[in-house]
Structure 1
C-alpha cells in the first residue's frame, strides 16, 4: 500500500506486472521451500535415526551438487535456444519427483535411495537455476535490475526459511508426536515426553531424560521415536514434493510462453 504511493519506493511494484517475472519468482520460492526443507529433515534423519555423524550425513547429501553442476550447463544451453519457461517449470517438477521418490522409500531407507533421490532433485535444480535467474534479473528494465536482484534473493531466503519451518513441523506433527504416549507410559512425565519429542533422541537433553528409564524400556522408547521420526520425515518429504509440483503448476499458469517461439511443422 505504501510502496504504490511514494515517489521512491524500496521495491517498485511495477516489477510484478510482468507475468514471466512472477512465474520465475514462484519457481524460485517453491524450489527453495522444497529443497531446503528436505535437506534439513534428511540431515536430522540420517543423524538421529540412521546414527551417522554430522560429517558423514553431510557427505551423503553432497551428490545433489553433482547433478546441479551438470544440469546447470544444460539449462544454460536451453536458455540460449528456447524459452526459459520450459526448463524452469520442468526443473521444478524434477525437484518434486525427487523429494517424493525419497519419501516412498522411508522408513526402510538406504543411503543409496537418498543419493538417488537427491540426484533427481539436483538435476531439477540445475535445469532451472540459470533460466530462472536470467528471467528475474535480466528480464526487467535496466533501471529495475537492482530491485529485481534483491527480490530474487529475498524469495530464496524466504523460501528456504518457510520450507524448513513447514517440513520440520510436519515431521513432528505427523510422526514424533505420536510417540509421546509411549514414553509417558514408560514412566516419563508429560513435560519430559514433550522435550524428547522436540529434540533429537541422540541429543544431550534427550539422553539425559531417557537415561532415567530402565534399559529395556529405554530401548523400546527410542525404537518407537525412531520409527515415528521416519514416518514423519516421509510425510514431510511428500509435502515438500507437493509444494514443488504445485509451484510448477502455478508458474505454468502465470508464466506465458514466449511470443514467436518456433512450433513443430510450421505451415508455409
Structure 2
C-alpha cells in the first residue's frame, strides 16, 4: 500500500511528504493553518480599510479622490502583480515567497500607521498590494503541493471559508477599531498577525518544487501582461470613479489593454519558457473556471458595493451595526465552505457550482425587493442565501483552476485565480456603479417633481442620491426646514433604491450566465497525473 501511494504521488509530480525532525514541517493540516493566518490578514485588509477611510480623510485633510486611491492603489497593485508573483513561487519555492509576502505586508501596514500624509498612505498601500500578491498564489501552491488529491477540495474549502469570513468580518472589526481606538489601529493590527504567520511559516511550511519547475523568467511576457492588466484595471477604476463609460480615456485604456493582451499571447507562443503557457487554456474546465471566477466576482463584489450604502445611508446604521447585519453572509460562508469542499470531493464541482450560482442569482434578484422599511429578518434571508451560493463557487472554481493546471504551474494558476477575482470585482464595481448613476440621473428629476418640492434641486443632491443619504451640510443649509429635509430625504432614498434595484438586476443576470458557464467545469485532472499514468 505504501509503495503504491508513493507511485501515485510521484505520478502527480510530487514527492511523498517527508515530515521534519519535529514532525511539524510539511504536515498538511498544520500547513493549512499556517497559510490561513496569512491569507486572513490580506483578505481582512480588503474590506476593513473601507471603514477607516472617512477617519483618514478627516485626520489627513485628504480629498475624495485621494481617499478612493487608498483602495484603488491596493487593488491595482494586487491585480497587476498576482500572476508574476505566482511565477516567482513556482521558480523559487512557494514557502519563500509566502514568507517574504507576509513580512513585507506587515511592514507596509506598520508604515501606513505611522504615515502623516495621504500620499504616504497611498504609496504604502501600493506596497501592501505587491506583497499581498506574493502571498496569495503561494498559499494555494503550498496547499496544492502538500495535500493529497482526495483531500485538496476540503483544504480549499477551509481556505475559502477563511477568506469569506475575513472579507465579510472586516467591516465589523474595522468599525470597532476606528470608533474605539484610531484609524491607525486598522493597519497596526496586521503587525502581530504577520509575526504569528511568519513564525508559524518558518516552523511548519515545507518547500515543495516540481522536478520540472521553470528555471528562467519571461521578462517581456511579464512586462506585457503587467501593462495589459494595469491598463485594464486603471480604465475600469477611472470609469467608475470619474471618467464615465462614454469617455475616450476609458475606451483608450480598455482597447489598449486588449491590444497588449494580444501582443502578450503572441509572444507567449514564441518564447521558450512562457509566463503563462497558453496550452493551459486548452483545458475547457480551467478556462471555464477562470471565466466563472470573473463573473462571480462581478456579481458579488459589484452587488455588495451598494449594500453598505443601503445599510448606512438608507437605513441609517452605524458602521458596526451595518457590519453586524452582514453576519448571516459571513456565518453561511463559514459553515458552507467546508461542506462545499466535501460535496465537490464526492460529486465533482459541476453540480455545486451551478447550484451556487443559482443561489447567488436568486439572492441578487431577491435584493431588488429591498425597501427603506425592510426588516432584519428579510435582510438576513437574502444575505444568508448569498453566502450559501458563494461558498461552493469560491471553493469549486479555485479547485477547477488550480487542480487542472500542472503542478509546476500551481503558482501561476493561483495567481490566475486571484487575478480573475480582482478583475471581476473591479469590472463589477465599475459597471454597476455606471448602471446606478445612469438610473439615478434618469429618475431624480421626475422624483423631485413628483414630491412637489417648490425649490430647484441643488446639483449636489443628485450625486447624494447615489449614496442614499442627504449630506449634513445641505440638511443644515439656510431655509431648510425639517419638513423640507424629510421630503428631500425621501426623494434621495427613492432614487437610490431604484438605482440599486437596477444594479442588482444586472448582477443577477450575470450570475445566471455564470451558472451556465459552470456546466463546463469538471474535477481537476492535472497534466502531471495524466503523464504519470501513461508510464505506469
TM-score of the aligned structures, taking structure 1 as reference length: 0.84
Give how far 1:5 is off: 2.8
**Structure 2 residue corresponding to 1:99, chosen from 364, 367, 375:** 364
Within 5 Å, give how 1:1-268 maps onto structure 2: 1-2=263-264, 3-106=268-371, 108-175=373-440, 178-180=443-445, 182=448, 186-189=455-458, 191-198=459-466, 201-202=469-470, 206-212=471-477, 213-215=479-481, 216-252=483-519, 254-255=520-521
Aligned length, in residue pairs:
254
Residues 1:4 and 1:194: Cα distance change in structure 2 (over 3 Å) = farther
Give how far 1:226 is off: 0.7
Give how far 1:148 is off: 0.8
CA distance in 2, matches of 1:139, 1:251: 15
- Secondary structure at the aligned position of 2:405 is classed as coil
5+ residue gaps, structure 1, are 260-268
CA distance in 1, matches of 2:489, 2:285: 49
Give how far 1:258 is off: 9.1
CA distance in 1, matches of 2:441, 2:313: 12
Residues 1:121 and 1:101: Cα distance change in structure 2 (over 3 Å) = same
Contact 2:467/2:496 (CA < 8 Å) preserved in 1? no
Give how far 1:130 is off: 2.2
Contact 1:95/1:125 (CA < 8 Å) preserved in 2? yes
Give how far 1:108 is off: 4.3
**Matched residue, 1:265:** none
Give how far 1:44 is off: 0.3
CA distance in 2, matches of 1:108, 1:170: 24
Give how far 1:244 is off: 0.8
Give how far 1:20 is off: 0.5
CA distance in 2, matches of 1:87, 1:198: 35
Select between 207-216 and 228-237 the one with higher mean Cα deviation: 207-216
- Secondary structure at the aligned position of 2:395 is classed as helix
TM-score of the aligned structures, taking structure 2 as reference length: 0.44
Give how far 1:109 is off: 2.2
- Secondary structure at the aligned position of 1:230 is classed as helix
Give how far 1:194 is off: 4.5
Contact 2:289/2:521 (CA < 8 Å) preserved in 1? yes
CA distance in 2, matches of 1:75, 1:173: 38
- Secondary structure at the aligned position of 1:214 is classed as coil
Rg comparison, structure with higher value:
2
Residues 1:128 and 1:210: Cα distance change in structure 2 (over 3 Å) = same
CA distance in 2, matches of 1:104, 1:132: 29
Deviations for 1:107-163, whole angstroms, at most 9, x for unmatched residues?
Answer: 542222121011111111122332221111122111221111111000111111222
- Secondary structure at the aligned position of 1:116 is classed as helix
Residues 1:195 and 1:124: Cα distance change in structure 2 (over 3 Å) = closer
Contact 1:175/1:230 (CA < 8 Å) preserved in 2? no
Cα-Cα RMSD: 2.5
**Matched residue, 2:235:** none
Contact 2:315/2:372 (CA < 8 Å) preserved in 1? no
Residues 1:221 and 1:71: Cα distance change in structure 2 (over 3 Å) = same
Give how far 1:180 is off: 4.5
**Matched residue, 1:264:** none
